[in-house]
Structure 1
């Protein structure tokens, strides 16, 4: 799955340059020119990195930064701004920004900074797949920024799905990985899958085989 980058920038020429650079690095990219559109997108999916301009036609990127960090604290945010005073940078960093790039900037440098944030994220104890984020230290799971009320086995099952996202997993493999059964009653597995689905997790049934996240 490609890493997903969201950018909030109302200058179409800058967006075009960034798009080319990120796509050349195999990164998925979505651009938004207004605060309203960006916030609406955040309600539907979680980016891996957000690039935020500060001065926008319908608001401030700093406002979006606070909104995003409250909903998805693990998402790396890089501020893009023509405001070059030290106090402007300090303000952005104090509000939760992970990096600050002054305009005009080199797209190669920006891409390097994005990749640095992605590497940093990989070193943390957060596992992300789509809108699901697992914290392996606290053994908690979030869906679209909302904590899921899971018991230990539900968490273990979801973790195995996330670690194997996109793969078809047989019932036997799931029972062995999560419950330690070589074989056994699959009703236990089916009941746990049903509870995860009730929590909003989208798990696909592959008839005659098993399940896929």
Structure 2
């Protein structure tokens, strides 16, 4: 069972998200918060697998709440769930270590898929957010390709294999099946990769994999 916390200052939005997630028998909404500060406190109390956070909330916005949650020892992954899709929000969310970025205007199925993916250790971006990230990568790849290759060269051959599949959006379980490894071994490799690359989440690692040339360009 995937345990989820929903944080949004609008009661109707919380109810809508709860209704969508509750339609999946593998997801349980364990808590709701109306402020960022309350979200942080409830995460510490309930330790959900995933925290679904709106950006604009009183007391503490969703991005600052995400930062506090990810620095805690709760082991909770964060998805930013918002009406805003500008590049600054996406960049800051990923920079804080969020594993997902979803738009409230998107397909409800994206919300369920995103919760499953993030709970399984993968990253999940809404199609528009993913397009914005990928669109900015070619320039970044040219500017930072050499530095990215130097960082990737520090990895073992197995870690580079894992990084490539991680960058293609595969979860730990999918990587394990592809490489015929135990899932726990993949988790160990991913943890080592994040440490060696000095990044805070899988999306940042995937960007480095792209810049280093491990992943082909997406048109």
Tell me which interval the TM-score lies in, with the shorter structure as reference length.
0.5 to 0.7
Relative contact order, higher structure (CA 8 A, sep 6+):
2
Q: Is the 8 A contact 1:17 1:107 kept in 2?
A: no
Given the alignment of the two structures, is residue 86 of structure 1 paired with residue 92 of structure 2, yes or no?
no
Structure 2 counterpart of 1:12: 11
> How many angstroms apart in 2 are the aligned matches of 1:91 and 1:73?
21
| TM-superposition CA deviations, 1:32-76 (whole Å, max 9, x none) | 111232222123221101111110022211111111111137422
Deviation, structure 1 residue 13: 1.5
TM-score normalised by the chain length of structure 1? 0.54
| Matched ranges for 1:10-159 at <5 A | 10-26=9-25, 27-29=27-29, 30-72=31-73, 74-120=75-121, 123=173, 125=184
Deviation, structure 1 residue 9: 0.7
CA RMSD of aligned residues (A): 2.7
| TM-superposition CA deviations, 1:126-159 (whole Å, max 9, x none) | 9xxxxxxxx8x99xxxxxxxxxxxxxxxxxxxxx
Q: Which has the higher strand share?
A: 1
Deviation, structure 1 residue 110: 0.8
Gaps of 5+ in 1: 127-134, 139-213
TM-score normalised by the chain length of structure 2? 0.52
Q: Is the 8 A contact 2:5 2:43 kept in 1?
A: no
Superposition misfits of 4+ residues, deviation over 6 angstroms = none
Q: Which has the higher helix share?
A: 2
Give the length in aligned residue pairs: 130
